[in-house]
Structure 1
Amino acid sequence: MKFIRNISNYLYAALFVGFVTACSPDDPDAVLAPAPTSEMVQFTVTPATDNPNMVVFTNQTPGTMKAMWDLGNGAAAVGNQATGAYAVAGDYTVKLTIFTNGGYATSTKTVHIQNTNVAMLNREDYNFLTGGAQKAEGKTWVIEKEYAGHMGVGPIGAATPEWWSAPANDKAAEGIYDDEMTFNLNGFAYTYNNHGNTFVNGSNAAGLGGKAQSADYTLPYTPPTGMAWSIVEENGKKYLDLSKNGFIAYYTGASRYEILKLTENELYLKTTDASNAGNGWWLRLVPKGYSRPVEPKPYKMEDIADNFDVDGNLTWKTEALTLVESYDNPAPVPINTSAKVAMYVKKDGQPFEFANMFADFAYKFDLTKRHVFKIKVYVPGYNDFTTAAGEDWANKNLLKQVSIKLQDGTSAQPWVNQVEIKQQVDQLDRWVELTFDFGAAEIMNKKDLDRIVIQVGGEGNFIPGIFFLDDFRLEK
């Protein structure tokens, strides 16, 4: 089966304008040559002597300033000579467009390939992408939604998505995680099954009949049939090209993807942004039904400390909480004279009833020898501890309380098997130090804990509060 990759006419027009404007009207010596015609465009077709499925094309058109090739197999090239690879028997339409001082013109020739060269199809990259010749139905890929970094954006020239990288399942509400991309070696067919809708880059949505807007969104879309794929090598890089404006899962207006990694179980790509040439988009895919093996975390315990004056050895994340990690100490007197502390702000209302800060670790906690945590806390008396508003199952008051929880951060519901210690604060407007001892036998024997959660003011209440924290540490 053959396939043709068309080159848009607007590109030719743009290049022509560039050539014409290079000859300024103010230049008295600037003279435009006669416009070329299709009959003037000449090129030779020469099969390689050692492999007739490799064909060399040479432009022989006088006055050519630029030559652009559509090789009819999904590949394109620029220059007076190009080489096309045609592994599968069939007829391929090769188009040459030449640009001269007078304009541009196009000519085509049909290249007939007598026999399929199976050896050319038995390539590692083809086999990884399609499952090989023995997989008649092709190989289906999906976005690796559980993997942090399955989508990303950054400068087009960067090695990694520096601006944004998607957390696991970050786009679960959009029409992308059920999209299936199937690549078949038979006829180099590409099938995109989006189950009725597609997640689009808002700036480029008009390319799929949507409305351009600043935010990304999901729109109804029916992919075309008869799409094809090809792998092209240019300047030491490999690219995956798709025909008929084809794309993979997330629409950015591009049909070419740089192949950053292609193995049996991973396809990592970078593509361009049609509305902003400076942006690059990253996509990570895995075969449908495949789950990446999870390496078990080591079982150990290391120093854990943060005094909020300098960076500690843990990274805090927040949930429904405003956290300022370096805030002027509101009372720099004993027992805490440090200049900076953390300000913990719980906002008003139901959306903030579970405000907390937490940190994940690359190992599971071994609590058998070190299991005592300490923290200093300052509870201002100006907080409202009397108004009641909250869930019926909870204490509806803002509490003078600090809770430390240890959880399995890899669990979908980390609170189910958590261990928690609560300490009451009976002195307001002064620093106090609280101790949390997780030395109980049933806790020390747990081997699934790798997250620390700090929660102040209780949970389930809708009352706002401001608190200050300092010198969080695991005792020696």
Structure 2
Amino acid sequence: MKNYIKYLFLLLPVILLAACIEDYRLDATTPPDQAARFTFEASPENDNIINFTADQEFFLMKWDFGNGASATGKNVTGIYPSAGTYNVTLTIFDRGGSASTTLEVVIEQTDPTLLDRPIYNLLTGGVDALEGKTWVVDSARVGHFGVGPDPVQAGGYFPEWYQAQANEKVGSGMYTDRYTFYLNDFEFDWETNGFIYLNGAQGANFPGAFDPGVGDLSAPFVSPGGLTWNIVEEEGEFPVLSLTSPGFLGYYAGTNSFQIISIEENEMFVRLIDQANDGLAWYVRLIPAGFDSGEGNPDPDPDPDPDTGGDVAFTLQDLIGSGEKAWKLKPAAGAFGVGPNPGSDQFYPNGNDISGERPCLFNDLFIFREDGEFEYDAQGDIFGEFYMGLAEEQCQPASNLVGTSGEAWGPGVHTFSFTEGTATVNPKITVTGTGAFIALPKAFNGGEYTAGPPAANRSVTYDIIDYTNEEMTISIDITDNGGVFWTFVLIPEDI
């Protein structure tokens, strides 16, 4: 039987709305309060999960669920594990100002099952953690903080453009903050220790902001207390962790909401969109306070990595065959990916087989000849991306590259050299030429292209980290410091 839900309209003017409000209107006049009207109903699966729907659609629509949580959009969902009365407010904005409507939502019964959720328990320590669970930025780990594109490119959800070195931001305030989450009443305790770290574009919002000498800005700041947290989970999307303002995790870029890319007992990896530049996504990696993520607690990886310590039995003859040999990506999971160490695809695609989604990648041929000639044969199509100067990111004719800034990444002939391995050093393949690459055009030693054209006559070196049953696994460090590796598994064309 559905719980009884009552509501009370507040702040509604007597005069009726004289004209229809157009979608995404940007009128110069203040919108009437009726424009912010909304309805709600309990979800079919649970009376304590409430679906809210605004009557109209505006440029910006902000919800306050009355339980410390918030959201934006026309259709949103609030979760109320505890019985009580909650004042839910929708505020809409246009050029002329804002308008609000508040409705009262009554939840008749507490539902303990809504509190016993895996993601809640991982975040807070669960119902038995009376002192909550405190998180800190994993400062000792390469890549604990960084930035990548939004929307994501082929690299997936990780900071492919920049990864901070271990303890790189000492003195910024990032490493001294403590974030404690309680399951009881969804409390969030934020200890700033006097100052915080923020994006340079946000400095005007924080009096006394200063240059800490490690990039961006720091500012004196003390948490006001009384903060709460909320997590919204939608099918097919990352969970979104929202903190009541002004709370944030690690780095302030204008938002109090964070996508949880992954969360485990001893690690949480979050993503936030830069509100001053929506083409940027920032990443922060956190661990429980007191937990050591170093050598004593290696980062978990879903699959065992190939042996990367040298002694790989691979020769020049294996590479070129009887004088010429063509290689292609193996159409299988793990054959194309990026992760925190050689052989890992943890960042992307994390164990998924993408050969069916991107067949144009898996028919490319990389041909090595005994005279040192290396040829890239695209077989007529490529997986094009924006950095190549193309209009779409998808499989498309290789001829689309002609006349673009990425034309040199198309089919072509270059040169290569081979370095024998030893008991401690892996064999290496180096391809040289403007646009020369194996498997992925944008990756080179120590970086990735964000735009064409490629560097003239650049050499790119790949480590051969495994060779088993004619499967050659190669890897390249795009940070040049052991932070992020692309790995590719190639097989002979005729297999």
Counterparts in 2 of 1:39 and 1:149: CA distance versus 1, 3 Å: closer
Q: How big is the shift at 1:204?
A: 1.3
- After TM superposition, list the pairs within 5 Å mapping 1:318-333 onto structure 2: none
Q: Which residue of 2 aligns with 1:72?
A: 66
Q: How big is the shift at 1:40?
A: 7.1
Equivalent residues of 2:173, 2:218 under 8 A apart = yes
Tell whether 2:192 aligns with 1:194: yes
Equivalent residues of 1:129, 1:139 under 8 A apart = yes
Q: Give the superposed CA RMSD.
A: 3.8
Letter in 1 for 2:256: S
User: Following the alignment from structure 1 to structure 2, what is the Cα–Cα distance between the partners of residues 35 and 302?
Assistant: 72
Equivalent residues of 1:269, 1:282 under 8 A apart = yes
Q: Which residue of 1 aligns with 2:269?
A: 268
Letter in 2 for 1:78: G
Equivalent residues of 1:38, 1:106 under 8 A apart = yes
Counterparts in 2 of 1:102 and 1:205: CA distance versus 1, 3 Å: closer
Instruction: Give the alignment partner of residue 83 of structure 2, picking from 75, 89, 100.
Output: 89
User: Following the alignment from structure 2 to structure 1, what is the Cα–Cα distance between the partners of residues 107 and 164?
Assistant: 45
Q: How big is the shift at 1:124?
A: 0.4
Counterparts in 2 of 1:228 and 1:366: CA distance versus 1, 3 Å: same
1:233-266 Cα distance to aligned partner (Å, 9 max, x none): 3562211111122111222222111111011111
- After TM superposition, list the pairs within 5 Å mapping 1:172-321 onto structure 2: 172-211=170-209, 215-234=215-234, 236-292=237-293, 293-294=297-298, 301-302=310-311
Q: Which residue of 2 aligns with 1:52?
A: 47
Task: State the secondary structure of the residue aligned to 1:171.
Answer: coil
Q: Which residue of 2 aligns with 1:124?
A: 118
Q: Which residue of 2 aligns with 1:429?
A: none
Q: How big is the shift at 1:141?
A: 0.4
Q: Which residue of 2 aligns with 1:409?
A: none
Task: Return 5+ residue gaps in structure 1 as ranges.
Answer: 1-14, 22-31, 305-364, 371-476
Equivalent residues of 1:204, 1:212 under 8 A apart = no
Letter in 2 for 1:294: P
Instruction: Return the TM-score normalized by structure 2.
Output: 0.50
Task: State the secondary structure of the residue aligned to 1:95.
Answer: strand
Of structures 1 and 2, the larger Rg is shown by: 1
Letter in 2 for 1:272: I
Q: How big is the shift at 1:42?
A: 4.4
User: Following the alignment from structure 1 to structure 2, what is the Cα–Cα distance between the partners of residues 64 and 366?
Assistant: 65
Q: Which residue of 2 aligns with 1:355?
A: none
User: Following the alignment from structure 1 to structure 2, what is the Cα–Cα distance between the partners of residues 86 and 44?
Assistant: 17
Equivalent residues of 1:139, 1:183 under 8 A apart = yes
Task: Return 5+ residue gaps in structure 2 as ranges.
Answer: 1-20, 300-304, 314-421, 426-495
Task: State the secondary structure of the residue aligned to 1:52.
Answer: strand
Q: Which residue of 2 aligns with 1:133?
A: 127
Q: How big is the shift at 1:112?
A: 2.2
User: Following the alignment from structure 1 to structure 2, what is the Cα–Cα distance between the partners of residues 271 and 240?
Assistant: 10
Q: How big is the shift at 1:68?
A: 5.5
Task: State the secondary structure of the residue aligned to 1:135.
Answer: coil
Equivalent residues of 1:194, 1:249 under 8 A apart = no
Task: State the secondary structure of the residue aligned to 2:123.
Answer: helix
User: Following the alignment from structure 2 to structure 1, what is the Cα–Cα distance between the partners of residues 289 and 306?
Assistant: 26
Equivalent residues of 1:92, 1:112 under 8 A apart = yes
Counterparts in 2 of 1:266 and 1:107: CA distance versus 1, 3 Å: same
How many residue pairs align between the two structures? 281
Instruction: Return the TM-score normalized by structure 1.
Output: 0.51
User: Following the alignment from structure 1 to structure 2, what is the Cα–Cα distance between the partners of residues 40 and 299?
Assistant: 62
Counterparts in 2 of 1:65 and 1:294: CA distance versus 1, 3 Å: closer
Task: State the secondary structure of the residue aligned to 1:205.
Answer: helix
Q: How big is the shift at 1:193?
A: 0.9
Counterparts in 2 of 1:301 and 1:38: CA distance versus 1, 3 Å: closer
Letter in 2 for 1:52: D
Task: State the secondary structure of the residue aligned to 1:19.
Answer: coil
Q: How big is the shift at 1:17?
A: 11
Equivalent residues of 2:147, 2:162 under 8 A apart = yes
User: Following the alignment from structure 1 to structure 2, what is the Cα–Cα distance between the partners of residues 144 and 64?
Assistant: 39
User: Following the alignment from structure 2 to structure 1, what is the Cα–Cα distance between the partners of residues 38 and 262?
Assistant: 36
Counterparts in 2 of 1:67 and 1:245: CA distance versus 1, 3 Å: closer
- After TM superposition, list the pairs within 5 Å mapping 1:297-446 onto structure 2: 301-302=310-311
User: Following the alignment from structure 1 to structure 2, what is the Cα–Cα distance between the partners of residues 75 and 283?
Assistant: 21
Task: State the secondary structure of the residue aligned to 1:93.
Answer: strand
User: Following the alignment from structure 2 to structure 1, what is the Cα–Cα distance between the partners of residues 139 and 232?
Assistant: 27
288-297 or 271-280, which deviates more:
288-297
Q: How big is the shift at 1:85?
A: 1.6
Letter in 1 for 2:145: M
Task: State the secondary structure of the residue aligned to 1:53.
Answer: strand
Task: State the secondary structure of the residue aligned to 2:239.
Answer: strand
Counterparts in 2 of 1:244 and 1:59: CA distance versus 1, 3 Å: closer
Task: State the secondary structure of the residue aligned to 1:129.
Answer: helix
User: Following the alignment from structure 1 to structure 2, what is the Cα–Cα distance between the partners of residues 35 and 205?
Assistant: 30
Task: State the secondary structure of the residue aligned to 2:121.
Answer: helix
Counterparts in 2 of 1:66 and 1:272: CA distance versus 1, 3 Å: closer
Q: How big is the shift at 1:16?
A: 9.4
Counterparts in 2 of 1:219 and 1:68: CA distance versus 1, 3 Å: closer
The alignment-based identity, stated in percent, is: 35
Q: Which residue of 1 aligns with 2:33?
A: 38
Q: How big is the shift at 1:154?
A: 1.8
